[in-house]
Structures are given as C-alpha cells and as structure tokens.
Amino acid sequence: MSYSSKGRKVRRRRKSINVRNLIILIAGAVVTIVLFILLITGIVRLISKGIGALTGDGKEKNSSQISSTVSDTDSSSAESSQPALVYSNIQMTQADENQGELILINSTHGYQSEVEDLQIFWGNKNKSYSLLVAEMYAKPEVVTGMNEMMAAFQTQSGISSVMVSSAYRNVDDQQKMYDNDLAKNGTDTSETVAKAGYSEHHSGYALDLSYNSAAGTAYLDGTGSYSWLIENCYKYGFIIRYPEGKTAVTGMAYEPWHFRYIGKVHAEALTKGNYCLEEYIDMLRLHGQDNPYNFVSETGADYLIYYVPSGGTTTEIPIPQGKEYTVSGTNEGGFVVTVTMGSGSSYASDTKVSTAGTASSSN
Ligand SMILES: [Zn+2]
C-alpha cells in the first residue's frame, strides 16, 4: 500500500518533471521560430529595397509614385506586377491645343481651328440611316462611328429611318440658324442654337439626328425605340452633349438629337461618371501625369488618362515609352493624354505607340 503510494508519488514527480521539460522545449522552439521569421523578413526587406533602388534608377518619378501607393509588406510583389513606366516627351504646338476629339466648345470657348480632314457621308455611309441633303460632312471618325452605331441600332430595332439632319456647319450657316431662331422665338439669346463661332458643328465632331414622323421630319426626342441611342451611343464614341439636368453647366437645353463624338474611351468614361463635357474636362484637369485617372472599360481594357496644361508656344507632353496613346487638345488651355495599359479589347484603333524614335527627349 505504502509502496504503491510511494511509487505513485515518484511517478507523479517524474510526470511533473516531464511536463516541465516539455514546456521548456516548446517555449524554446517558439522563440527559435519567431527569431527565424524575424530574420527572414529582415532579409526579404533588404533584398526588395535593393531591387527597388536598382529599378528606380532613371525613372525616379514613377518608382516613387508606385512605392508611395503600396504598403511595405507587399512592395516587392507590386513592383514585379507593375513595372515603372519610362516617360519621354513629345512636343505639341499652340494650334494643337484647339484640335482633337476632346475639344470643349461652348459659349465661352469658341471653335478656333479650321477643319482640314472632313469626310463626305455620301458614298462613305452604310444603309442603316439617311441624310437630309446629299452634301453633308463630318470628321472621318464620326462617319465611321455613325456607321457602326446605326448598323447596331437597325439590327436591334429594325429601324433604318434615322436621318442626319445637320453635321458640319460653317460660321455663315450658323449665323443664319441663330438669327432664324431669335426671330422665331422673339428672344435676344438662344438656348437651342449656339452663336456663330461657338457651335460644335464647326468642328465636324457633332451631328443632329432626326427621323420621319407623321408630322414630317422631327428631331430625335430620345424616347421609345430611340432611347437605345441615348443609352448606347457611348459604345460608338458619341455622347449626348447637352444632357438632361445639366443645362446650368452646358448653357444649353436638353438636346436628345445632338450627338458629339469624343472617342470611345472618353465617351464611356464620361457617361459612366454622369458628367457633361464641361464637368469631365474639369475632373481630368485634377489628374496630372503624377496622379493619372485610371479608367477600366467594360471591354476590360485599362487606361491611364492625364491632363497636361499648356506650356505656351510649345508644350512638352510626357508619354510612357512603348505604350499606345492618344493626345487631344481641350480648347481650354491644355491637353489630355490617354494611354492604353493593356488587357481586354482596347479602343485603340486610332492610337500611336511611343518609341524612342518619335519621342524627342527623356526627362
Ligand atoms: Zn446640334
């Protein structure tokens, strides 16, 4: 009895010693593992900093931009998935500021260029729409966009009676329209016809669309089957330039018939953001090359969009090397650069690729 109890005591003591040893062993192992993890983390950080310093050479702006937007812990993976861009400058002239798909034309920003490359619709259009008169002109990309849009509209609705009732207009035509509108309405100013020199129709980027109704030719009102055009025109590069609810900004009443071409990327970005063109340019002005506006299209393509203010007689425009890009003047003192970053089916048919050859100098 006593022996067995003694024996039990001994066994208990041995057991408690074993437990103590085990605890010491585990604690030691934990401390070792923690020290090992700290050592490895330190080495990885040192290596990634070394790589960052190497790749940052000669492209300070971008490596600093990228490293400031990602946290310490995943800097190595972010740098390997998005290498820093190398920028070179191209030069644009003062005249270039007033040309391009994004030019802003309104009552305070007159059209200041001469359109050189107008294309006649007749012979270049498809049969999904008609023309009010045979001689109608617009920019070539507008004719192409109109062909695409109206073919899709006809497929979808079966309607092919939409008519271009006005396209490019010269200043004399606009003056007549303006005078007629004032006479008709007995007013001093017009909210539906722009003053001569201040109409988007001077640029070749604007179209008015009509249809044949029981009462004769009427402007599209954006209702019924025609609402498809309002909702889908951005896919073809067009916007409703004077949208509902934006009269205070545009200075023009809602015009569901007036379509303005600004290119597919910007038409989609503007429409999805619920901007009018004035607001869209205002927004882009906040995004310089250091802080570009990143727009991902529903096509999956990824774009960097940034604003470069005018530099006077010539403006140096930074362009990332090897990327497809477009540059448009804004007609309000700057340029908008659109860079295709890749993936998806990009809207890149009219873009240029920056190479060392076309770029004048590296900054
Ligand atoms: Zn119009």
Read off the pLDDT band of 213 (50, 70, 90). Answer: confident
C-alpha dist (Å) from residue 159 to 170, 210, 211? 31, 12, 10
Residue 324 host element (H or E): strand 324-329
Residue 104 and residue 241 in contact, taking contact as beta carbons nearer than 8 Å:
no
Query: DSSP secondary-structure letter at 106?
Result: B
Residue 306 CA, ligand 1 centroid: distance in Å: 28
Mean pLDDT on 215-233 = 95
Q: How far apart are CA 140 and CA 155, in angstroms?
A: 23
Mean pLDDT on 311-322 = 96
pLDDT at 356 over 60: no
3-state secondary structure of 34: helix
Return the pLDDT at 23. 61
Residue 212 CA, ligand 1 centroid: distance in Å: 18
Q: Report the 10 Å Cβ neighbour count for 38.
A: 10
Ion ligand 1 residue ranges (Cβ < 5 Å): 208, 258
Return the pLDDT at 70. 34
Residue 40 CA, ligand 1 centroid: distance in Å: 66
Q: How do beta strands 258-261 and 238-240 pair? A: antiparallel
Cα–Cα nearest to 201, from 151, 162, 242? 242
Residue 192 CA, ligand 1 centroid: distance in Å: 8
R_g of the chain, CA atoms, integer Å: 32
pTM for the model stands at: 0.74
Tell me the DSSP string of 141-155.
HHHHHHHHHHHHHHH
Return the pLDDT at 249. 97
Read off the pLDDT band of 352 (50, 70, 90). Answer: confident
Residue 105 CA, ligand 1 centroid: distance in Å: 12
Higher pLDDT, 74 or 189: 189
pLDDT at 8 over 50: no
Residue 201 CA, ligand 1 centroid: distance in Å: 6
